[in-house]
Structure 1
Amino acid sequence: MEHALNQRVPKGGGQPTLQAQPPRALLRVIHTLDTFAEQTGWVVSWLIVPMVIAMVYEVVARYFFSAPTIWAHDVSLMLYGTFFMLGAAYALKQRAHIRTDFLYNGFSVRWQAFVDTVAYLFFFFPGLVIFLWYGWDFFYDSWRLKEHAITSPWMPPLYPFKAVIPVTGALLLIQGVSETLKSVYALVKGRWP
């Protein structure tokens, strides 16, 4: 059985110090949630391919054959929206969302963790609950009515596109739990797991 302490030798030599390692169960949960975000990000990234194909098809059809489509704009718009929304959890995992790094990076690890923990608990999760609640209603009403776009001659169904809203909320919730666990650990231990 492995011991939860790890020996570290200080810079410049000297006696090794014992430093506690994160509990295995915590690391396993964080790793599982982060891996899920990585994998969904990879899958979602492939949505760029059909979007580019639709746009190239439209350009070629329109400018080389004078035969524009009625569907390419809608498809590219919906795919881009889906790509953007479903990629949000991956961006959260990669720490790619906007933050005031010029202030944040100057903080100690504990202060960074404190800011992150407070932000997740008091802003991120409450906002996400509202997003999920209204997003689900928005999707459910669209699905129940079998809503179609009325602004396009193609009139594509909108309910599959609107399903992206609650799915995005669920993905962000999952990754938010991982980020909060990392922040709480860093707040307590003074280092990131």
Structure 2
Amino acid sequence: MAFSNTLLKTIHAIDQFTEHTGRTISWLNIAMVVLTCLTVIMRYVFNHSSIIAQESIMYLHASIFLIASAYTLKHDEHVRVDIFYHRLSPKAKATVNLLGTILLLIPVIGFIGWSSWPYIESSWRIYETSQEAAGVPLVYLLKSLILAMVAVMLLQALAEILRSITILTGIEVEHSAKHEGAL
């Protein structure tokens, strides 16, 4: 009983962190849309372009895409070829999810982290800036978002593994938060 309580608390804590992070990062969508509109207006109405504004849009998009990936995983909204999956029993789905997370997700995320480390490390070593004189001088921080994505995805992968284990072992777990709807 103590093990199942610890398991459920761990899943809940990770899910709460992912939910909070995903909802917080989603506000960057508004900033990105506003900045995109302002950039277009400046370019086509006032015949003025801003490299820092254009690069900021790219930074916002990368932040949303990379950091919200765990939120998307939590809500089971990643692209899936679902030919048979929807017909499976909850235990069979849990088995597929468990094997997919262990055999596919974790190795791919691990490879992304491992292969991107030299790229990110060299950027930090020189405090890489934009190639444009008027660009955003924080390229090394942008590249670091790759490692942030690896961290949040591995954390949520752990929650997904534990959730699958609870289903396979018959431990009651709350599923309502999983499908509240993505942002």
- What is the TM-score when the length of structure 1 is the normalising length? 0.81
In structure 1, list runs of 5 or more residues that go unmatched. 5-21
Cα distance in 1 between the residues matched to 2:90 and 2:172: 6
8 A Cα contact 2:70 2:152, kept in partner: yes
Cα distance in 2 between the residues matched to 1:58 and 1:126: 40
Q: Which has the higher strand share?
A: 1
Q: 1:192–1:105: structure 2 CA closer, same or farther, 3 Å change rule?
A: farther
Number of residue pairs the alignment of both structures matches: 172
Which of 148, 158, 166 is residue 185 of structure 1 equivalent to?
A: 166
Counting aligned pairs with the same residue, the percent is 30
Counterpart check, 1:139 vs 2:114 = no
8 A Cα contact 1:51 1:79, kept in partner: yes
Q: CA shift at 1:26, angstroms?
A: 1.3
Structure 1 or 2, whichever has the larger Rg, is 1
Q: Which has the higher helix share?
A: 2
| Larger RCO (alpha carbons 8 Å, 6+ apart) | 2
Which of 131, 134, 137 is residue 154 of structure 1 equivalent to?
A: 134
In structure 2, list runs of 5 or more residues that go unmatched. 175-183
8 A Cα contact 2:4 2:171, kept in partner: no
Counterpart check, 1:78 vs 2:24 = no
| Equivalent residue, structure 1, for 2:70 | 89
Q: CA shift at 1:149, angstroms?
A: 2.9
Amino acid at match of 2:32: M
CA RMSD of aligned residues (A): 1.9
Cα distance in 1 between the residues matched to 2:116 and 2:21: 20
Q: CA shift at 1:168, angstroms?
A: 0.7
Q: CA shift at 1:134, angstroms?
A: 2.3
Amino acid at match of 2:13: T
Note the alpha carbon deviations across 1:57-96, whole angstroms, 9 max, x for none: 2122122222222222211112111111111000000100
8 A Cα contact 2:8 2:173, kept in partner: no
Q: CA shift at 1:23, angstroms?
A: 2.1
